[in-house]
Structure 1
């Protein structure tokens, strides 16, 4: 196997390893870098049942060894390799994560690694789902259309918190939304808010000083305006 001469050359968007071999491989970015520095398309591949004693470089060499079903090399652009280790012993855990440029490369690499026999072990691999949640624009909800079982209208006639809690958390939250006050939290928190507004006019409890108006970063949530 040819060894690379590790000479880092930074370009506008990628780092490359200059090599004496005719094929130039993308260099690994430091594993300490935050995911925010990678392209938005970057995708992680999980590799399990690895032999113990693996280093990042060994995993990298493995990645460039595997081939697709048609025999062609996968040859992904590897952005980072991470071999998790035990914090106390420093020993690896027999698994690794390989971050590649995009989902297509990740799918090809995972398919090539899954079931691949390496040093007497049969590897398993899959594409790791991103934890980043995509922003979805949700239409504004009219609180008046929410089902609270009539709780908001009957609130002033209910004797105690137990009578309120008989409606259940979902209807209690909807009653809070109808009152245009905070609706987050558990059963006790939501019930306490409804008890606090019993017998009060809306202009009283909707005063910001009362502390029950939904806020986001100290600003009133526009959805409840």
Structure 2
């Protein structure tokens, strides 16, 4: 499982997130996506912890907490939705 952390300050670093989440257990990985054109952080991150119990505790405590001047949105990360194919995602089949 992975934790989604949204509404982050654009100044946050992996080290900042690691420090906050370490209070709830061992952090396995922190990923901060960046915009591919600007290289700037996109305002959210993903944190993976050692156990589901640790992640649940971090989510319940940090969701809605204020940090670095922002109100955090923290929840279980959802699986990435597959994007449609280049042919329109299969819509319109048999309509030729």
Q: If the TM-score is normalised by the length of the shorter chain, which range does it land in?
A: 0.7 to 0.9
Rg larger for: 1
Structure that is richer in helix per residue: 1
Give the superposition deviation at 1:94.
1.1
| TM norm structure 1 | 0.34
| Aligned mates of 2:53, 2:21 — CA distance in 1 | 15
The gaps in structure 2 that reach 5 residues or longer are 81-91
Q: Which residue of 1 aligns with 2:7?
A: 49
Structure 2-normalised TM-score? 0.75
Q: Distance in 1 between matches of 2:40 and 2:20?
A: 19
Within a 5 Å distance, the mapping from 1:28-67 to structure 2 comes to 43-64=1-22
Aligned residue number for residue 85 of structure 1 = 34
Deviation sequence 1:142-166 (CA, Å, 0-9, x none): xxxxxxxxxxxxxxxxxxxxxxxxx
Q: CA RMSD in A?
A: 1.8
Larger RCO (CA under 8 A, 6+ residues apart): 2
**Which residues of structure 1 form unaligned runs of 5+?**
1-42, 65-72, 132-185, 189-225
Report runs of 4+ in structure 1 exceeding 2 Å deviation: none
Number of equivalenced pairs:
83
Matched with 2:45 is 96
Q: How far apart are the structure 2 equivalents of 1:90 and 1:49?
A: 18
Query: Aligned equivalents of 2:7 and 2:78: distance in 1?
Result: 19
